[in-house]
Structure 1
Amino acid sequence: MRDWYAAGLKTTMVARSQTYIFPYKYVMSPHSFGAYDNLPLEVADRIFDRYLSLAQAGFPVLDSRDPSFNVQSILNERGSGHYADVGGTELIAKGKVALRGCIEPVGYAETGLRLSNGSALSTDAVIWCTGFADKNVRTTALRVLGGTDPDIKHKSDVLHPTDITARLDATWGVDAEGEVRGVWKRHLRMDNYWVMGGVLQHQRWWSRPMAQQIKLAVCLS
């Protein structure tokens, strides 16, 4: 968004629903989500006003004061509904980027998009930023293994793709031990099967522990 603005393009964001926003610097800070444990009270109290001007500009901001909000649920289950702010929100707050809040695109028009409130948005290009669609590893694995191909038949001596995916653990969410389900570890009912998922930060952190798991399993087999 900042690149488009810098290039002189007129940009409009359509924010379909409330979004939890946190600064990128906040993600990288050791203070993290424990602001009141690490910052003076008068500083921590002002954190909630960080995106006040953004909300006043019409962006549906969601923060931790909402009783229905759970940041771990958004991060580990939905895989969407949150945004690490790298500076683009300032353009919206200052009116340099237009905004349509709490409405959804419902179709294409000759000159752009039709929106759920009956209005239209004229544009030369549409960029969709809608999160991940393949959060269920069973569905993804079935497609990758060819289980949706009607020509693949069941054989008594060979596992069909549906037999394999039925043995896979569910992914995302939190299990009884408080760990994220089904990713970055071996699936208990399927030998030699590991799953990775998430964003780039997840891959950077978990690729080594998972490689160690695979190496250990190979050495012990």
Structure 2
Amino acid sequence: MRILIADDHRLIVEGVKLKLAELDSDVEFSVAMDVDELRQVIRDEPAPAIALIDLTMPGSDGHAHLIETMASLPGVPVLVLSGAEDSRLMRELLSLGVQGFIPKAYSPEVMLSAVRLVLSGGVYVPPMMLLEGSAAPDVSAASHAETTASLEERLRKLLTERQIDVLRLLSQGKPNKVIARDLGISEGTVKIHLAAIFRALNVRNRVEAVVASRRISGL
């Protein structure tokens, strides 16, 4: 399997290669450090199974290099790498046809999971975008209420009722021992629920889970 990585930061490229090497023992990489190199790689090397492309690499003009890559590699999923965490930007890029958006601040494990999801035919949507929804700033109160209800419904599809109970108490700043006491379960069971919550929300720790939960009304 060949993976195309286009980014001008050598440390990021090497970090991505190191983590994605876990996908397969025979994985190979094509690397481009700017848009001209990206065009050359697309022209001269075998088509990759997936492409991870920096949003603002040298030679880029807005999103043109992404659109050009998707046109040149039909059928190859494109994942955007970016230092930005702007949900409006994410929506814009997903509407253009990219298969996912990975903020560079996310952990290598999240990136690996995102790539696996996309390779299996899915689309990776960052948790912050999933939880914020797509309402514009000037939506009416009624529309906002509908959006909030929709987000809560989405969250309930990701988590069980008990996991939502744990998440609610976690968002109140309660430690595992208190959560266990309040819910009448063991601390070990709380830890199991937390691990499932982290996986479902694609977050790395308690703090990120709390941030995510507080974007949902009622939690």
Name the TM-score, length of structure 2 as normaliser. 0.24
Higher helix share: 2
Work out which of the two has the higher radius of gyration on C-alpha atoms and give 1 or 2: 1
Structure with the bigger RCO (C-alpha within 8 Å, sep 6+) is 1
Name the TM-score, length of structure 1 as normaliser. 0.24
